[in-house]
Amino acid sequence: MKSYIIASIIAICLLLIILFKVPILPIVIIFVIILTISINKSNKKMKQQTESFWEKERKANSVRKKPLDDLNYLTIPEHFLSMPVSKEDTHALDALDMLKHLSSQKIVNLTGITNTDLKLTYGTANITVLTQYDQNYTQLAHALQQLAASLADNDHPKESMEVLEYAISTRTDISASYLLLADLYIADGHPEKIESLISTASSLDTLLAPSIVRNLKSKTDA
């Protein structure tokens, strides 16, 4: 941010010197004054943000343990565990093993929610278990993508689509899942279904959302 401010001020000063032939000394003085003011404002804003963060963190650390009943727990469809994969396809087999393991675990997608917000909502004592639930989700999302890719590569497009549609219903942010499903929709003669993928991707609370949407739109424009 500071480098952007400095670059902008330098550009303005050079413009004044070149276009209006303003003496260099006054420009230097103006530059120093403006830069000092800008840096002070930036530092003040950063200080306020830091103080606000630590105050929120302090409050979060004092919240007592609360029930986790309202979490959106995910259940892996049982028939996913017996998808038609080759015994020689180690990637698919690894994915199935992971899904079997996770089928007995609690899984929650907490993407985009900070630990501080989790502590404020459910209490500090729950942060460890919530972190585990979220890690389980990360493993689930990757296992679903791995399984779907293997199914698609081995002439099982319908099963691959089913796995990917479930993955996206859980609001995964794995770009490959959206793009593969879009390709499968196109191959299946239903490119209009990509619009629903764009809608879901647009609502994701992740930095990856814009690129996923952009790549999906490129497929509809092709």
Q: What is the CATH number of the domain that holds 210?
A: 1.25.40
Above 70 in pLDDT, residue 99? yes
Evaluate the CA torsion angle 117, 120, 125, 129 in order and state its sign. Answer: negative
CB-based contact 177:168 (threshold 8 Å): yes
Cα-Cα-Cα-Cα torsion 182, 188, 192, 194, nearest 10 degrees, comes to -10
- Is residue 140 domain-shared with residue 92, that is, in the same domain? yes
CB-based contact 166:99 (threshold 8 Å): no
Which structural domain, as residue segments, surrounds residue 48? 2-60
Above 70 in pLDDT, residue 122? yes
What pLDDT sits at residue 10? 62
- Is residue 132 domain-shared with residue 100, that is, in the same domain? yes
Distance set, CA 67 to CA 12, 70, 84, 156, 194 (Å): 57, 8, 39, 42, 38
Tokens describing residue 79? 């028939």
Question: Is residue 95 domain-resident?
Answer: yes
- Is residue 39 domain-shared with residue 86, that is, in the same domain? no
What pLDDT sits at residue 104? 95
- Is residue 24 domain-shared with residue 129, that is, in the same domain? no
Distance set, CA 207 to CA 113, 171, 212 (Å): 13, 14, 10
How many helices and strands (H and E) does the chain possess? 9, 0
- Is residue 19 domain-shared with residue 103, that is, in the same domain? no
DSSP tag of 23: -
- Is residue 169 domain-shared with residue 111, that is, in the same domain? yes
Q: Which residues of 158-176 are buried (b: 16+ CB within 10 A; e: fewer)?
A: ebbbbbbbbbbebbbbbbe
Of 46-60, 109-123, 163-177, 194-208, the poorest mean pLDDT is in: 46-60
pTM, whole model, 2 decimals? 0.75
* C-alpha–C-alpha distance, residues 70 and 55, integer Å: 26
Question: Is residue 203 domain-resident?
Answer: yes
pLDDT digits (tens, 9 = 90+) for 150-180: 999 999 999 999 999 999 999 999 999 999 9
- Is residue 96 domain-shared with residue 146, that is, in the same domain? yes
How many structural domains comprise the chain? Answer: 2
Report the chain's mean pLDDT, rounded to a whole number.
Answer: 86
Q: Report the length, in residues, of the chain.
A: 222
